Amino acid sequence: MKTPKRIEPLIEDGLVDEVLRPLMSGKEAAVYVVRCGKELRCAKVYKEANKRSFRQASEYQEGRKVRNSRQARAMAKGSKFGRKETEDAWQNAEVAALFRLAGAGVRVPKPYDFLEGVLLMEMIADEDGDAAPRLNDVVLDPDQAREYHAFLIQQIVLMLCAGLVHGDLSEFNVLLAPSGPVIIDLPQAVDAAGNNHAFTMLERDVGNMASYFGRFAPELKATRYAKEMWAFFEAGTLSPTTVLTGLFDDPEETADVGGVLREIEAARRDEERRQAARAADEEPANKMAEEPPPPWMQ
Ligand SMILES: Nc1ncnc2c1ncn2[C@@H]1O[C@H](COP(=O)(O)OP(=O)(O)O)[C@@H](O)[C@H]1O
Ligand SMILES: [Mg+2]
């Protein structure tokens, strides 16, 4: 096919020999299959900021390190220089995340190069050498669903151990290779320790996995891995070998609920007594019988 303009610099630099076909034009980027020597790779061309959607929102940016204070000020002000810096930081964030995660043993596409807003990476292929399907494109039997879910929970733990939360993990951003699931699409990855929204995003990522795999193995919908792994993370004890159960008992929450229920019940009984007393004053024959307290109050 005709080389898209944005990929020309990679051809000129000899990084890419030929653009074969467009793969997918998503919300934030257009992805092409390219040939580099004998290998097929993917080139991800980021859309400009004004053509992108939600993920550049400030909640994702919190805790990200910028190089110097001039840059930080410009980014905060949204000046032209600032917008360019924000843009670069965003695009680089995916490259940085891919390198960091690959180093931590997370199954992500191997990044090769990043040039003028184009990321060149490993193409995740199916058995025939075509681009692998997304989870959303496949139907699983319950055992496969359980196995892939467990694998992805482990991958999320590895990401958290490397200090990152994906932030947009769903059945659209996991490819299914013959060797198993591969996580993609990381420009919005958030800093687990430095971003106040990190837990909310982790819970959403984990919840998306539970509801997707729960379509095939419904018991997965009831698992509570996010709270469990976050408790270890906050205590500084999460490691790649931490054993998780998917059950999370929140003792304080349970005790609180009990406390609130007891308060409500006590208030209700007080009110009943007052009404009974009033009724007794007015109509002595209509006195209320004393109820025994419910078992959980005794
Ligand atoms: N490394 C890759 N190998 C194979 N297919 C890929 C790869 N990266 C992206 N794709 C395909 O391109 C689509 C869009 O890429 P993605 O990184 O998710 O960008 P977007 O931000 O547009 O969602 C993916 O859903 C997937 O189908
Ligand atoms: Mg995507």
What is the arithmetic mean of pLDDT over 146-154?
98
Q: Whose CA is nearest to atom 17 of ligand 1?
A: 185
Contact, 34 vs 7, CB < 8 A?
Answer: yes
* Separation of CA 79 from chain center: 30
CB-CB neighbours of 197 under 10 Å: 17
Find residue 43's DSSP bridge partners.
32, 120
From the CA of 172, how far away is ligand 2's center (Å)?
A: 6
What is the arithmetic mean of pLDDT over 3-22?
96
Furthest CA-CA distance within the chain? 100
What is the arithmetic mean of pLDDT over 72-99?
70
From the CA of 153, how far away is ligand 1's center (Å)?
A: 21
| Closest alpha carbon to 32 in 15, 9, 12, 7 | 7
The token pair that represents 65 in the structure block: 């390190």
pLDDT in tens, 234-259: 999 999 999 999 998 776 655 667 77
| Closest alpha carbon to 119 in 127, 108, 129, 135 | 108
Per-residue confidence band for 287, with pLDDT thresholds at 50, 70 and 90: very low
Contact, 53 vs 27, CB < 8 A?
Answer: yes
Contact, 188 vs 29, CB < 8 A?
Answer: no
Name the residue with tokens 């496949």.
138
Q: Determine the pLDDT at residue 264.
A: 81
pTM of the predicted protein model: 0.78
Q: Does ligand 1 come within 6 angstroms of the Cβ of 109?
A: yes
For the question of residue 113 being annotated catalytic, the response is no
d(CA 141, CA 219): 14
The token pair that represents 291 in the structure block: 């109820």
pLDDT in tens, 175-231: 999 999 999 999 999 999 999 999 999 999 999 999 999 999 999 999 999 999 999
Q: Does ligand 1 come within 6 angstroms of the Cβ of 34?
A: no
What is the enclosing helix (H) or strand (E) of 176? strand 174-177
For the question of residue 185 being annotated catalytic, the response is yes
From the CA of 68, how far away is ligand 1's center (Å)?
A: 32
Q: Whose CA is nearest to atom 13 of ligand 1?
A: 24
From the CA of 29, how far away is ligand 2's center (Å)?
A: 8
Q: Determine the pLDDT at residue 251.
A: 65
d(CA 91, CA 272): 65
Give me the chain's average pLDDT, please: 87
Task: Give me the residue spans of the domains in the chain.
Answer: 5-235
The answer on pLDDT for 99 being more than 80 is yes
What is the arithmetic mean of pLDDT over 11-25?
94
Q: Does ligand 1 come within 6 angstroms of the Cβ of 184?
A: yes
Q: Which CATH architecture has domain 5-235?
A: Orthogonal Bundle (1.10)
Q: Does ligand 1 come within 6 angstroms of the Cβ of 182?
A: no
d(CA 38, CA 30): 22
Q: Determine the pLDDT at residue 51.
A: 56
